[in-house]
Amino acid sequence: MISTQALLASAKNRPNHLAMIDGEKRITYREMFARVTRLAGALEASGVRKGDRVGILLFNESRYLELLFGITMLGAVAVPINTRLSAPEVTFILNDADAKLLFFHREFLPMLTTLQKEAAGIERFILCEDGGEVADTTIYEAFMQEASPIEDVYRVCENDLAGIFYTGGTTGMPKGVMLTHRNLMSNAYNFAIALEFTRQEIYLHAAPMYHLADGCSTFGTTVVGGTHIFMRMFDPVKLLALVERERVTSMILVPTMINMLIHTPSLSDYDVSSLRKILYGASPCPTEVLRKAMTLLPVRYYQGYGQTEAAPLLTILSAEDHVLEGEEHIVSRLTSAGQPLPGVQVRVVNAKGEDVAPGEVGEVIAKGPNVMAGYWKRPEETAATIVNGWLYTGDMATVDGENFIYIVDRKKDMIVTGGENVYSVEVENVIYTHPAVLEAAVVAVPDEKWGESVKAVVVLKKDCTVTEEELIEHCRRDLAGYKVPKSVDFAAELPKSGPGKILKRSIRDHYWSGMSRQVN
């Protein structure tokens, strides 16, 4: 179970089928395999050996896919990097990973001098662009021609490290999650089965490829011999145009992308009838946003829940469980994260490690072939996160009698006010039902009397108005008094990560500046 198998099988079984569409480029599986083996040869000629780390600082494009397969085919380790990071943050990751090469796009040329000076371990900088040369860099296509293709494409085993994926740093400096070939391919098969991928799949990389939410499809689409399509950066109008032109069948979107898409004025102007399925995840999707999406874009929706440490999928809410009308216990599943994937054990446990009863809140833990090998250079944190073979996710949840899991909050996002637990997701779902609200984040803020109180930070829809008092009263109709926001701030936008997740930590830190918040 290695990444090479996915590409080699499709190259043998469907050599003339389109593997990648990138603008005007049309690349078959035979051509893709030839390019990947040549890339692996060039990496080897450049001094990259098994186990060496190679940085990737790219937006979405076909060369990203080539790099993921070429690096891992050689037995080296891919290090995808968040494209929204600053030069010091990129430098930290390159140095922490001891990366040997860096592949990057022209948008990052302004930080090149800093990286050349501070990321001392980088021996070569390869610019992934067509066109003229840039001083102190090598152009990707020229790099590809530096050696012959490798012949031994089975030089790795499933327990070899394939990638180091750095977490978003929600609890401090980013941590490198070590994922093996077995981890990634176990996830790929789970993904392809759960989403019913077929050989006719035309998958659009709309979410950032450095993020493992999209990484599911990187190997999953290749496993079934489908076609990859790329959009360099997410734009809802360009996405609709691509779906229409290339007859896209599937994609992964994070909730903020879905929200942007359904609020695009020209949505109905495009023919998106080819689109059959959307997987969403990476953060909770407000129920009202999902309901509207299911009405405006009536395709098969799947929700994926997981985390980088699980490569990343743990559960799937199937298309059949996306029900808007009917019996309450069926409709309520729309607020769940679904059920565990085949081959993955998922439990919800209390502080003693015992399974909670239905309705009780506990922590999600998981075990399976997709669970990480550990954190890069952080054995103590690895030991604290993987206990007796179980990955402790830090996500709080309940479970019902049919094993549907309902995520209520991250441990660190849970608000404790006057001794009562408030789960921010529950409050946010109520706020999103107000017709004037576009986005919302609920966080804990310091409170002299209660220790912490509930704060809502809200972005309004264009040309809509609502007062703080009106929103608080809106929440009071559906929430217990201690859960109702004590205050509401309005903002032009909310801080987001590269994949589009709302960064609650950044919002929370603004209110806790100079103070220490204790989290059990």
Whether the link from the prior residue into 312 is cis, omega within 30° of 0, is yes
**For 106-115, what is the mean pLDDT?**
95
Q: Is the pLDDT of residue 451 over 90?
A: no
Amino acid at 400: D
Take residue 367 and report the two structure tokens written for it.
Answer: 């075990």
Take residue 329 and report the two structure tokens written for it.
Answer: 């216990």
The kind and range of the H/E element at 10 are: helix 3-13
What pTM, to 2 d.p., does this model score? Answer: 0.86
How many Cβ atoms from other residues are within 10 Å of residue 272's Cβ? 17
* Residue 83 per-residue DSSP state: T
CATH of domain 3-396: 3.40.50.12780
pLDDT, tens digit (0-9, with 9 covering 90-100), for 25-50: 999 999 999 999 999 999 999 999 99
**For 87-110, what is the mean pLDDT?**
96
Residues in Cβ contact with 177 at an 8 Å cutoff, skipping those fewer than 6 apart: 164, 165, 166, 167, 308, 309, 372, 375, 376
Q: Of 166, 162, 157, which Cα lies nearest the Cα of 180?
A: 162
How many Cβ atoms from other residues are within 10 Å of residue 243's Cβ? 22
pLDDT in the model for residue 1? 84
Average pLDDT of every residue of the chain: 92
How would CATH label the architecture of 412-511? 2-Layer Sandwich (3.30)
Q: Is 480 helix (H, G, I), strand (E, B) or coil?
A: coil
pLDDT in the model for residue 168? 58
Take residue 110 and report the two structure tokens written for it.
Answer: 């302004």
Q: Is the pLDDT of residue 520 over 50?
A: no
What spatial distance separates the first Cα and last Cα of the chain, rounded to whole Å?
Answer: 39
Angle between helices 181-194 and 3-13 in degrees, nearest 10: 50
Take residue 132 and report the two structure tokens written for it.
Answer: 């003229």
**For 427-440, what is the mean pLDDT?**
94
Which residues make beta-bridge pairs with 329?
none
Q: How far, in Å, CA of 223 to CA of 8, rounded?
A: 9
Q: Is the pLDDT of residue 81 over 90?
A: yes
Q: Of 38, 74, 32, 33, which Cα lies nearest the Cα of 53?
A: 74
pLDDT, tens digit (0-9, with 9 covering 90-100), for 227-266: 999 999 999 999 999 999 999 999 999 888 999 999 999 9
Q: How far, in Å, CA of 65 to CA of 205, rounded?
A: 10
How many CA atoms are closer than 13 Å to the CA of 228, on its beta-carbon side? Answer: 34
Q: Is the pLDDT of residue 171 over 50?
A: no
pLDDT in the model for residue 113? 94
Amino acid at 244: E
Tokens 């990138």 -> residue: 22
pLDDT in the model for residue 518? 55
Contact 95, 55 (CB under 8 A): no
Which residues make beta-bridge pairs with 102?
55, 125
How many Cβ atoms from other residues are within 10 Å of residue 139's Cβ? 16
- Using pLDDT thresholds of 50, 70 and 90, give the confidence band for residue 172: low
Domain edges within the chain: 3-396, 412-511
**For 154-171, what is the mean pLDDT?**
84
Which one has a higher pLDDT value, 518 or 202? 202
* Residue 324 per-residue DSSP state: S
Backbone phi and psi for residue 232, each to the nearest 5 degrees, phi listed first: -55, -45
pLDDT in the model for residue 414? 82
Q: Is the pLDDT of residue 169 over 80?
A: no
pLDDT in the model for residue 519? 53
- Using pLDDT thresholds of 50, 70 and 90, give the confidence band for residue 173: confident
pLDDT in the model for residue 517? 63
Which one has a higher pLDDT value, 116 or 520? 116
Q: Is the pLDDT of residue 136 over 70?
A: yes
DSSP 190-245: HHHHHTT--TT-EEEE-S-TTSHHHHHHHHHHHHHT-EEEE-SS--HHHHHHHHHH
How many CA atoms are closer than 13 Å to the CA of 425, on its beta-carbon side? Answer: 19
Q: How far, in Å, CA of 314 to CA of 311, rounded?
A: 9
pLDDT in the model for residue 416? 83
Least confident of 115-129, 437-451, 457-471: 437-451
Q: Is 305 helix (H, G, I), strand (E, B) or coil?
A: strand
Contact 94, 122 (CB under 8 A): yes
Contact 245, 275 (CB under 8 A): no
The kind and range of the H/E element at 238 are: helix 236-246
pLDDT in the model for residue 293? 96
Three-state SS for 23-57 is CCEEEEHHHHHHHHHHHHHHHHHCCCCCCCEEEEE
pLDDT in the model for residue 482? 87
Q: Of 401, 320, 325, which Cα lies nearest the Cα of 358?
A: 401
List strands edge to edge, sheet with 99-104: 138-139, 124-127, 99-104, 53-57, 77-80, 161-166, 176-180, 374-375
Portion of the chain with pLDDT greater than 90, in percent = 77
Angle between helices 29-45 and 3-13 in degrees, nearest 10: 140
Contact 512, 445 (CB under 8 A): yes
pLDDT, tens digit (0-9, with 9 covering 90-100), for 273-315: 999 999 998 776 888 889 999 999 999 999 999 999 999 999 9
Take residue 236 and report the two structure tokens written for it.
Answer: 């809802």
Which one has a higher pLDDT value, 496 or 111? 111
Contact 2, 153 (CB under 8 A): no
